[in-house]
Amino acid sequence: MNRAMPVFLDRDGVINRNLADYVRSLNDWIPLPGSIEAIVNLSNAGHPVIVVTNQSAISRKYCLESDVMEIHQHLIQLVDEAGGKIDGLYYCPHHPDDACDCRKPKTGMLDTARKDLNLPPGGYLVGDASSDMEMGRRAGLKTILVLTGRGLNQLELIKMENHPAPWRVTEDLASAALIILEDSTV
Ligand SMILES: [Mg+2]
Ligand SMILES: [Zn+2]
């Protein structure tokens, strides 16, 4: 019975539109169709929903940490107004060269979330990138690659580089949520 299994979500390319040039402000942040509703459905089914996102735009000085926090407040509010809940939201502000413990594919954000929220091991990871899948794998999560955002290109990359296939590949967060809901009520 996986009913209360946590669901970890990547942000850019999963919940909102990915931008090649980084999502830098609230103006850049455009939710993908059905993504807020999908989060609400997961949340209402009892799944803790946690967002884990690399935001190196902060260390690259493309935006301020306060811009990222403004986006996250907005996301939390949208989900709240739609009747759901985001249980946790974690971002890595570091540059790839910083060798921090939180930048995906490292599992630091997942480890922190588990401690903060007292989550059971296991659960699901929805992302649009190879690094999301790798983090999920390292943490023993069921990985779902969505084809929104960078998903289509990243799926090719995963195949080309002979990485293990994701647990599931699906169209978008809405269909990923359906897969999770079905899997966790069997
Ligand atoms: Mg992404
Ligand atoms: Zn980091």
- Assigned domain for 1 exists: no
CA 185 to ligand 1 center in whole angstroms: 27
Among all bound ligands, the one having the nearest atom to the CA of 104 is 2
Residue 186 has pLDDT above 70, yes or no: no
Among all bound ligands, the one having the nearest atom to the CA of 22 is 1
CA 183 to ligand 1 center in whole angstroms: 23
> What is the bridge-based pairing of β-strands 88-92 and 7-9?
unpaired
Number of domains forming the structure of the chain = 1
CA 65 to ligand 2 center in whole angstroms: 13
Report the run of H or E that residue 165 belongs to, with start and end.
none
- Assigned domain for 2 exists: no
Kindly list the strands in the beta sheet with 124-127, ordered across the sheet, starting from the edge strand earlier in the chain.
88-92, 49-54, 7-9, 124-127, 142-146, 168-170
- What domain range includes position 74? 7-183
Residues assigned a catalytic role:
10, 12
| Structure confidence by residue, pLDDT tens digits, 106-164 | 999 999 999 999 999 999 999 999 999 999 999 999 999 999 999 999 999 999 999 99
- Assigned domain for 104 exists: yes
CA 184 to ligand 2 center in whole angstroms: 31
| Structure confidence by residue, pLDDT tens digits, 66-77 | 999 999 999 999
CATH number, domain containing residue 21: 3.40.50.1000
